[in-house]
Amino acid sequence: MSYKTLLVYVGAASQVPPLLRVCQHLAAQGDDVRVMGLHVVPQIPVYPDMAFMVTSEMVDLQRNALVEKCEQAAAAFRDQAEQLGLDWQWRDCDANGKLVADRVMEQGRSADLIIGAQEDPEADNESQQGVLEHVLMRGGRPVLLVPYAGEVTVLGERVVLAWNGSRESARAAFDALPVLQQANTVELLWAKPADVEETDVAFDDIVESLARHGVAIESHQMDQTDRVVGGDILARLDAQGCDLLVMGAYGHSRFHELVFGGVTRHVLQHMRVPVMMSH
């Protein structure tokens, strides 16, 4: 089993090399893998208080800049995909009154996996902020996020699967089967919430179920008396030298995590290896 259709959301040309290196690793796990690059040209924002100040020349300048950015992303994707020997296709489109995330979801729902870059807090890219979080929440497809810093040299050899028995973690586990089946080691990190009773979640069942799919599991249960946070999971990744984290996303509402913090938000901000998430 392998992913056959990978949709790569490219927000900027600088994101292309790490994204396509990840695609190269995934393409090597199967045959006839198609890598589709996508850039969405956002709608030019015109704020009501400033509308009277915006001239047609200003709109044209901004539009030309956005189109140029799209062309740069397309050229970078084409060159890198050819260099890596990928079976590739490029698509770009205008937002046309919709959110960028809506256009990504329209294209991504026909793909096995959506791949994109972690948000760089230093990047001046307002129109691209939050795109993949929206796609993750509403797209219905797993999303693989690639760190904006560092280089991905291996992918899916040593995997940590975070599990707490939730709907989101169940989706993530089975969405990631093509990667888990190819991994050298998979550690099931039993991140048991403090308010979950021992009988509420059948830990052994998921281990046995994945084993029937050929996934050899090593299990590790985190301290049940402590509140599990994203930092604990990332620390475990570092300690084990793992190259991929698989986890469910936003067990609480996204608003709750924005206000109060949460595992998903912490991981998205501090990840140092690729993270595959499902909601």
Residue 114: which region, alpha, beta or left (left: phi > 0; alpha: psi -120 to 50)? beta
The architecture (CATH level 2) of 158-278 comes to 3-Layer(aba) Sandwich (3.40)
Give the whole-number percent of the chain exceeding pLDDT 90: 63
Residues 6+ apart with CB under 8 A from 263: 191, 228, 229, 230, 233, 247, 251
Where exactly are the structural domains of the chain? 5-146, 158-278
Name, in order, each residue with C-beta under 8 angstroms of 273's C-beta and a sequence gap of 6 or more.
Answer: 147, 152, 237, 242, 243, 244, 245
Banded model confidence at residue 261, pLDDT cuts 50, 70, 90? very low
Q: Do 5-146 and 158-278 show the same overall fold?
A: yes
CATH topology of domain 5-146: Rossmann fold (3.40.50)
d(CA 168, CA 142): 11
pTM of the entire structure? 0.90
What is the model's pLDDT at position 192? 63
How high is the pLDDT of residue 224? 45
Please report where in the chains the tokens 């280089």 appear, as a residue. 151
